[in-house]
Amino acid sequence: MKKLFSLMLCLVCLFAARTADAKGIPNPTLKDLSGHSQRLSDLQGQVVVLSFWATWCVPCREELPRLSALSTEFAGKKVHFVAVSIDDTKDRARIEPYLTRQNIHLDVWVGGNADMLGHFGLGDIVPGTLILDEQGQVITRIMGEAKDDDIRSRLDWLLNGRQGPAPEPKLKRY
């Protein structure tokens, strides 16, 4: 009887750990460029493309305009694009001029850092992108520069009722 109880306790703990992992992505409070607090959990009910970037990041110069164009393409659908800057506090004054020069039209949040990338399972190199479903579950982690098809194919899969095989959960693009 004692062995059966121990086995059941282990199974309950294992189930609880798996459930926590499935929902266990961070939910930090960041600021938008107007200074308003933003949380990832506030976007639940929408598919989210969450990209980490920095003004000094060379691949980000290619990726951000691509994400901005995709954001326009998916406008009117339940998809929300957010670019989280990991620029240091002292460099934040560079963000808005950079976005203007690059003609980027995305929601941008500040306050991210390299440690946050690791907490989201993206390693420690920018850019890094997460695609989350409407319940906030991670569909794909893209480590490195995301390509159009990396994003578009996953969004189409989610928006079209998850028809066909599930996309790869992790892509390394470096």
HEC states along the chain? CHHHHHHHHHHHHHHHHHHHHHHCCCCCEEEECCCCEEEHHHHCCCEEEEEEECCCCHHHHHHHHHHHHHHHHCCCCCEEEEEEECCCHHHHHHHHHHHHHHCCCCEEEECCCHHHHHHCCCCCCCCEEEEECCCCCEEEEEEECCCHHHHHHHHHHHHCCCCCCCCCCEEEEC
6, amino acid identity: S
What is the reported pLDDT for 20? Answer: 31
Number of Cβ atoms within 10 Å of the Cβ of 136: 17
Overall average pLDDT of the 10-19 stretch: 34
Our count of domains for the chain comes to 1
- Which pLDDT value is given to residue 106? 95
pLDDT of residue 135: 95
Flag whether 131 is in a domain. yes
Q: How far apart are the first and last CA of the chain?
A: 53
* pLDDT score of 18 more than 90: no
Question: pLDDT digits over 92-146, tens only?
Answer: 999 999 999 999 999 999 999 999 999 999 999 999 999 999 999 999 999 999 9
Task: Provide the 8-state DSSP code for 87.
Answer: -
pLDDT in tens, 66-99: 999 999 999 999 999 999 999 999 999 999 999 9
Supply the pLDDT for residue 5.
36
Tell me how far apart the alpha carbons of residues 138 and 115 are, in angstroms, rounded to a whole number: 18
| Within a domain: 19 | no
Q: Is residue 48 part of a domain?
A: yes
Domain membership of residue 82 (yes or no) is yes
Let me know if residue 10 belongs to a domain. no
Q: Is residue 122 part of a domain?
A: yes
Any domain includes 13? no
Whichever domain contains 100, its CATH number is 3.40.30.10
pTM of the model: 0.85
pLDDT for the residue 86: 97
Torsion of CA 58, 68, 24, 47, to 10 degrees: -160
Q: Between residues 19 and 31, which one has the greater pLDDT?
A: 31
Is 41 within a domain? yes
pLDDT tens per residue, range 21-41: 345 799 999 999 999 999 999
Q: Are 67 and 106 in contact (CB under 8 A)?
A: yes
At residue 16, the pLDDT reads 33
Give the per-residue pLDDT at 174. Answer: 87
pLDDT in tens, 155-166: 999 999 999 999
Q: Sorting pLDDT into bands at 50, 70 and 90, what band is 12?
A: very low
pLDDT confidence tier of residue 6, bands split at 50, 70 and 90: very low
Give the domain range for residue 124: 28-173
